[in-house]
Structures are given as structure tokens and as C-alpha cells.
Amino acid sequence: MNRFTTAGLGLALVATPLVATAGTATANDATVQRAAAPAYSVSAAINRTTAIAKEDVVKIRGQVSPKAAGDKVVLQQRMENKKTWSVSGTAKIKANGRFLLKDEPSTAGTRFYRVLKPAAGTVKKGVSSELKLVVYAWEKLTHRTSGPESNMSFTTATIGTEPFSSSLVTEAAGANSSIEYTLGKKCLKLRATYALTDSSATGGTGSVALAKDGKNVFSYALVLGQVVENNEVDISDAFRISYSTTSTKAPDSYVAIGSPEVLCTK
């Protein structure tokens, strides 16, 4: 009896690890199958690296493999230093697997795009590499914090009977004026209108000059009725710009820098 019982126990001990091994093999096979499931491959390219807000349209072209004709791809974007992605648009995949997505940036700043092809059937989702875009926007120069300033007022200037809001105007006739703005090398262009205001006396004269990091960009001599209208200059890589003006006293003259704007990113 003792010898027969011992043999039975031995059989039980042999059978147990065989069951465990079969279960482990099944779990491993499922893991391998999931890991080996195909995923969409998404390639994408952007048509520009810089854009102007509310003016330029960004186009992103690419291809999906497997082709997945008729399915949708999703354009996502995130702002620099942010982790959250938001949806910017969708597009259908063509029969050849290609797609075209568009976006119209409305604010300044650096952002990143990527294209997502959602999972479908047994094919897992695919995501393209990130595409960088720097967006610039026009903004009022007078809405920025100014640096050193002398004899300059922030007001609406009247030039040839037309009002120019957010302007810089000589405060006291006959005295030199100046103002500086730090741009931090984040701006590309500056545009403004230059003239003597309608409140200047006949025969009065003046001048206006712009410097970029201490180097003269332009200077204009001004007389009543003469207008340098919507003048645009390159200020790329400028850390600081400065305006300086002169005007006569008796006859009184007042120099206006009408509605100056800068094209900048953040």
C-alpha cells in the first residue's frame, strides 16, 4: 500500500508543471501576436517653416501605408512648451494613399504639427514625425512696453484729415523727441506712416529717424503736407529699435509716427 501511494503522488507531481507550461505558452503567443500586429506608417511634409498669422495658409502633404483609401487622417498641433495636442483638421486619404491637410494660423508663436492615422481593423494607429512652424503676426508697436522715452506722447494723430490710432507724436514743438523698444530679435518688419500732424503751423518742418541696435535704418525730412505713407522696413534680428525726431518752434511743428506696427513672433 505504501509503495502504490508513493507512485500516485509522483504522477501528480509530474502532471502539474505540464499544465502550467501550456498556459504560459498560450499567454506568450498572444503577447507576440499583439506586438507583431501591423501599424500604419505616416509620412508628412510642410510647405513652409514660417508663416504670417491670418495671411498664410499652411499645407501639409503626405502618405499613409497601408493606403487605407477613403479613411481619414487627423492634423494635430501643439504650441511650443505645451504637451497637449489639439485637432486642427481632417482629410480623406486618396486611392494612392496620399493626403493634403491645410491650416490657417491665427496667432503668433512656434507650434508643431503631426498627422495621425487612427487604428482600423487589425492595423494599429500611426503618427508622423513632428513638423515645426514659426508664426509671426502684426501688432501695434505702442501696445508693447517701451524703453527710455523723451517728449513723446501716445495718441491718435491726424494726418491730412485722417486719424491714425495708436500713434507716437511729438509732445512739445521745438524739442527733440525719442523712444526705444526692445524686440528681442523676434520681429521681422516694421511699418508706419511719417508726417507732420495737421496741428503743425504752416512753414514748420521736422524730421524722423529709425535706428536698429544703434545703426541708422532711415531718416526723413518732413514738411507740412508731405506724407511718407505705410513705409515698411526690415528689422529682422533687431534686439532694440529707437525712433528720434526733431521739430521747429515758431512755426510750431509736431512729428507723427502714425500707427506703427511690428511683425513678430512670441
> For position 37, what pLDDT does the model report?
75
Torsion, Cα 138 144 148 153, to 10 degrees, reads 90
| % of the chain with per-residue pLDDT over 70 | 86
User: Which residues of the chain are under the pLDDT cut of 70?
Assistant: 1-36
Instruction: Write down the pTM of the prediction.
Output: 0.83
Give the model's pLDDT for residue 29. 55
- b/e code 226-248 from CB counts within 10 Å (16+ = b): ebeeebeeebeebeebbbbbbbb
The residue length of the chain stands at 266
> Tens digit of pLDDT for each residue in 108-134?
999 999 999 999 999 999 999 999 999
DSSP assignment of 133-178? EEEEEEEEGGGSPEEEEESEEEEEEEETTEEEEEEEEESSTTS-EE
The reported pLDDT for the residue numbered 28 is: 60
- State the pLDDT at residue 43: 98
Distance CA 101, CA 238 (A): 34
Q: Residue 35: its pLDDT value, please?
A: 57
Distances (CA, A) of 136 to 56, 109, 163: 10, 7, 26
Q: Identify the pLDDT of residue 14.
A: 44
Q: What pLDDT is stored for residue 25 in this prediction?
A: 52
Alpha-carbon distance of 88 to 76, in angstroms, equals 5
